[in-house]
């Protein structure tokens, strides 16, 4: 009977931090007001990552966007209206973040050229950059 106990303990250890985590809407409100972001979009993106471990459906990878006809530097909405680039690997080449495996997602994209706002995330952590990776702000866990 040790295995079920170990499994239960492992599950609880993973879920306990989320139980005390703030609501993603509150976290998004704080970061949106501080950094000039779309609060609703940030909240849904954070909630999707926390709840499902993946980005909301509005995000497409660079590869999928290119298959649909998009080219870097061009307007994604000409090919995929309403979509944003997200889910691709972030290399952390400058080492500004702790060692880890990260992905990235555009924030506040409204068509045209992509802006400097990105969410950089791993399974454990989330970071915001509004200056195209020059600086990062850690986003606390949320549910």
| Helices 39-52 and 24-35, packing angle to 10 deg | 140
For residue 103, what are the β-bridge partners?
A: 89, 121
Residue 116 C-beta-side C-alpha neighbours within 13 Å: 10
Given the residues 41, 94, 104, 123, the one annotated as active site = 104
Given the residues 41, 94, 123, 132, the one annotated as active site = 132
Contact call for residues 92 and 104 (beta carbons, < 8 A): no
Q: Is 123 a catalytic residue?
A: no
- DSSP structure class, residue 76: G
Q: Is 132 a catalytic residue?
A: yes
Which residues carry out catalysis?
104, 132
């Amino acid at each position: 009977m040790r295995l079920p106990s170990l499994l239960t303990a492992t599950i609880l250890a993973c879920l306990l931090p989320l139980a005390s985590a703030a609501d993603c809407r509150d976290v998004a409100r704080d970061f949106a007001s501080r950094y000039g972001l779309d609060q609703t979009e940030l909240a849904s993106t954070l909630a999707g990552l926390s709840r499902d471990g993946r980005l909301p459906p509005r995000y497409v990878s660079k590869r999928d966007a290119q298959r649909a006809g998009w080219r870097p530097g061009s307007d994604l909405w000409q090919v995929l209206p309403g979509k944003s680039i997200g889910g691709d690997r972030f290399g952390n080449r400058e080492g500004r973040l702790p060692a880890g495996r990260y992905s990235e997602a555009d924030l506040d994209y409204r068509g045209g050229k992509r802006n400097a706002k990105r969410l950089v995330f791993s399974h454990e952590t989330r970071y915001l950059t509004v200056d195209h990776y020059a600086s990062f702000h850690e986003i606390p866990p949320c549910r």
